Amino acid sequence: MEKVKILIAEDNRISYEYLREILKNEGTDILLAKNGTEAVKICEENTDLDLVFMDIKMPEMDGGEATRKIKSMRPELPIIAQTAYALNDEREAILKKGFDAYLAKPIQRKEIQAILDKFLH
């Protein structure tokens, strides 16, 4: 299998490092965006991206707006919401914004593996 390219859009360094640590063992090439504006730019410049983990609450442009812009360019690109705001009614609202799946923080290793299996294999 060729190397998978994943964007992590996350303004919290600890959350980014945690995800990166799990994903690096999966043979992935990982890019970082610290806000929604950077995430959109990286998706424009890297047409070979395979998956995006998108934090909902970020500075400059939030994850929902960034996802809308990315999906307008690359509707097939899986974008996974990640948020600490895990109320049941919010889950449905988040998925309606165009996200393909949803992960509540703290994210478990097995949940990440399930996402990779679903969207990349």
Query: Where exactly are the structural domains of the chain?
Result: 4-120
Mean pLDDT of the chain: 90
Give the pLDDT confidence score for residue 87 in this predicted structure: 66
Query: Which residue in this structure is represented by tokens 């730019």?
Result: 41
4-120 is classed in which CATH architecture? 3-Layer(aba) Sandwich (3.40)
Segment 59-68 shows an average pLDDT of 93
Q: DSSP string of 65-109? A: HHHHHHHHH-TTS-EEEEES---HHHHHHHHHTT-SEEEESSPPH
SS3 content of the chain, % helix, strand, coil (to 5): 45, 20, 35
pLDDT of residue 85: 65
What mean pLDDT is predicted for residues 55-80? 95
Res 86: pLDDT: 63
As given in the structure block, the two tokens for residue 88 are 């049941």
Q: How far is CA 25 from CA 4, 22, 83, 113, in A?
A: 11, 6, 23, 11
Residue 46, classed as helix, strand or coil, is coil
